Amino acid sequence: MRDHGGNLDAARALHGGPADAWIDLSTGINPRPYPLPPLPGTAFSALPTTEEAAALRRIAARAWGARVLPVAAAGAQAAIQALPALAPPGKARVLGPTYNEHAAALRAAGWAVAEVDGPEALAGADLAVVVNPNNPDGRRHPPGALRALSGRVGLLVVDESFVDTEPGLSLLPGIGPEEGRIVVLRSFGKFYGLAGLRLGFAFSGEGLAGRLAERLGPWAVSGPAIAVGCAALPDRAWAEATRRRLAADAARLDACAARAGWQLVGGTPLFRLYDTPDAAAAQERLARARIWSRRFPWSAGWLRLGLPDGPAWPRLEAALS
């Protein structure tokens, strides 16, 4: 089922209220975005040049410690949708429960998809997907274990959309130009709080990367996304300060949930997953305070919350007290 957070329209349809009355905690997006730099008018009026796009790729590789240049896309989602077409449909396994677009994109491209609950069950797949750290429960997999797994599958897709808060988990330093069995996906919008910009990257060896770039076509990333990415990605001071703030806020959210009687299942510093006595009732309780959360059709108890910021904190604390 292709259900997602960020569905504030559904919240308003059920509970009413204007959009600006709501606090949307149903996603894992940094609530304090990177400050937008001044953008030249040509970022909007002209097609991005080859050199501008190449500069973004070089900057992304340096920022994340990669040895290869990535393919840039309109969000990691664009790469997720394009990847299934890079090989003839076969047997795909997805380590779940996780972000459901991986399985959905594979099925739409004709792959036979099975969701499995342990890394060992991925072995033998023609294509395997691991989200690291995982959404929604935050499961983590050491880079060495994933590298070993890549030798037991045809192609390993590692989605690192939430790894910016824990860069030591990333596989990128081990990906070289000859890599042909691993694709690593990175999101820009989540950690930098600019999801609407639609910017993401895919890293692999030259062969796979070239085929993916050809699949995505020209001008896969907008001029404004290139300009903002080139300004934000090298800003290490902002990234380090943001990691510290997110970690502190995640601990504050855990304490707030514990006072409400919820048990921490896991998560990342960008979102937390709790086991509640009744997720539907918990979501309803928060919605009465115009706070939207994320629950899952396959779990009666799990509820995921993104991080609040500023005046959203006292509203959430009051709703849960």
- Domain with residue 48: its CATH number is 3.40.640.10
Angle at the Cα of 243 from the Cα atoms of 166 and 40, rounded to 5 degrees = 110
Q: Are residues 97 and 218 in the same domain?
A: yes
Torsion of CA 290, 292, 298, 301, to 10 degrees: -70
Reported residue count of the chain is: 321
Those residues with Cβ within 8 angstroms of residue 143's Cβ, 6 or more apart along the chain or in another chain = 169, 170, 171, 174
Residue 264 falls within a domain, yes or no?
yes
For the chain, how long is the longest CA-to-CA vector? 55
* Together in a domain, 296 and 226: no
Q: Are residues 292 and 254 in the same domain?
A: yes
Question: What is the residue range of 245's domain?
Answer: 8-33+237-320
The verdict on 247 and 182 lying in the same domain is no
CATH number of the domain encompassing residue 302: 3.90.1150.10
Residue whose C-alpha is closest to residue 189's, from 232, 134, 132, 141:
232
Q: Considering the domain boundaries, does residue 18 fall inside one?
A: yes
pLDDT tens digits, one per residue of 135-159 = 999 999 999 999 999 999 999 999 9
**How many folded domains does the chain comprise?**
2
188 and 245 in a single domain? The answer is no
Mark whether 248 and 302 lie in a shared domain. Answer: yes
Q: Are residues 68 and 208 in the same domain?
A: yes
Asked if residue 213 is part of any domain, the answer here is yes
Residue 3 included in any domain? no
Question: Of the candidates 234, 265, 285, which is a domain's last residue?
Answer: 234
- Residue-by-residue pLDDT tens, the chain, 321 positions: 688 899 999 999 999 999 999 999 999 999 999 999 999 999 999 999 999 999 999 999 999 999 999 999 999 999 999 999 999 999 999 999 999 999 999 999 999 999 999 999 999 999 999 999 999 999 999 999 999 999 999 999 999 999 999 999 999 999 999 999 999 999 999 999 999 999 999 999 999 999 999 999 999 999 999 999 999 999 999 999 999 999 999 999 999 999 999 999 999 999 999 999 999 999 999 999 999 999 999 999 999 999 999 999 999 999 998
Give the separation between CA 125 and CA 154, rounded to whole angstroms. 6
Please indicate, yes or no, if residue 82 is contained in any of the structural domains. Answer: yes
Instruction: Verify that 266 and 291 share a domain, yes or no.
Output: yes
Give the position of tokens 């979501």.
Answer: 283
212 & 80 share domain: yes
The answer as to whether 169 is a domain residue is: yes
